Amino acid sequence: LIMSKGTVVLAYSGGLDTSCILVWLKEQGYDVIAFLANIGQDEDFEAARKKAESLGAKKVFIEDLRSEFVEDFIWPSVQANAVYEDRYLLGTAVARPCIARQQVEIARKEGANFVSHGATGKGNDQIRFELTCYALYPEVKIIAPWRIPEFYNRFRGRTDLMEYAQKHGIPVPVTPKAPWSMDANLMHISYESGILENPKSRAPADLYLMTKNPEDSPNTPDDLEIEFKNVFVGSPCLSLSGKHGVGRIDIVENRFIGMKSRGIYETPGGTILLKAHLDIETFTMDKEVRRIKQGLGIKFSELIYNGFWYSPECEFVQHCINKSQENVEGKVQLSVFKGQVYILGRESSKSLYNEELVSMDVQGDYDPCDASGFIRINAVRLREHHRLQGFSSTKQ
């Protein structure tokens, strides 16, 4: 009888990789608890449960995390206008701390000293999962098979995994695997690796699952209204944006680990929320507060991307962003059409927009003569700079 090395909670997807990892962990002498997170992906969770049980998982937890994913992770990202490197809306990055938080909770409840995942040794996800685990369960030990030489030397590709699966009675996929990897949740889908690793190769037309090709989208726009009250109140933006091909990007980004990677992302609803939130925020927020908040939003995006959701600096930045949102409420009217989002109008009881003050037809509580002094004061620095420049050039 082999003594157990301990209990490990495996972040399990039901796919080939994590099924092989489950059996491999058992071979190494671990008791395995399989954990599946429902964050809105299209998955047969009961089939995955049965598969994990048939492969020898001691227990299987299927956790519906959709509500907390939205409330605790997506909404703070919307409030921050979180975008990494000007384009990526962080759909995968923001899901990882949500999944890892629950994994750690199960590990603590079940008295498991180990957690494991199927993230590769070259990517960002290993960092995101593990930093969350260490932050919330400091004593935990992590088993990352794709960083263990005995594992990655044994499984050099999909063929090795398939052979191992057949040998150990692991059901193998019947349909051919798409020549790229995919990660989905209710916010977005990401596609990378495989044929997409050549940054010049165009994505096949059948790659996109969440959005229609803008060329094939309806020839008439759809109008909608989004209401914010601290965060987002409601709108059918996801289905409408997907129908109109909104939210597709194809980018090369900088991974935290130091290499560039090519990723294709669909974030239909998130793209509309970003555009609408930016609009209502500018409408209701003081100019200088917004300037500071903009910088905090960039910092927050980097912290999410790099895996530092549960860091003291991220907590501080979130606190400041939350404070900035106290008066960010109102309604934004917009239109979606052929891959684009068009803002049509906005309204808010907290608006800082003063129609009389800004009107060209009404003087309001403003004396145009004051602008002369304002301009002259701002010109002092420019005059002095160019005076010095002129002085320097005459000396030469």
Active-site residue (options: 49, 96, 101, 248)? 96
What's the maximum distance between 2 C-alpha atoms anywhere in the chain? 92
96 is catalytic: yes
Joined together, the tokens standing for residue 64 give: 């519906």
Angle, alpha carbons 47-53-55 (nearest 5°):
105
Active-site residue (options: 19, 31, 125, 128)? 125
Are 120 and 261 within 8 A, CB to CB? no
Report d(CA 68, CA 271) in Å as an integer: 20
Q: What is the DSSP secondary structure assignment for residue 197, as one 8-state letter?
A: G
- Going from the C-alpha of 375 to that of each of 319, 367, 385, the distances in angstroms are 37, 14, 16
Report d(CA 123, CA 340) in Å as an integer: 31
Q: What is the DSSP secondary structure assignment for residue 326, as one 8-state letter?
A: T
Q: Which of 328, 333, 358 is nearest to 345 (CA)?
A: 333
Active-site residue (options: 66, 181, 193, 255)? 181
Report d(CA 3, CA 311) in Å as an integer: 37
42 is catalytic: no
Report d(CA 161, CA 364) in Å as an integer: 74
Q: Which of 211, 216, 169, 132 is nearest to 53 (CA)?
A: 169
**Helix 287-306 vs helix 312-324: angle between axes, to the nearest 10 degrees?**
150
181 is catalytic: yes
31 is catalytic: no
Q: What does DSSP say about strands 260-266 and 189-192: parallel, antiparallel, or unpaired?
A: antiparallel
189 three-state secondary structure: strand
CA 122 to chain centre: 18
Q: Where are the beta strands (DSSP E) in the chain?
A: 6-11, 30-38, 59-64, 114-116, 141-143, 181-184, 189-192, 222-229, 231-234, 248-254, 260-266, 329-337, 340-347
Counting every residue written for the chain, the total comes to 396
**Helix 16-27 vs helix 158-167: angle between axes, to the nearest 10 degrees?**
60
Positions marked catalytic: 17, 96, 125, 181
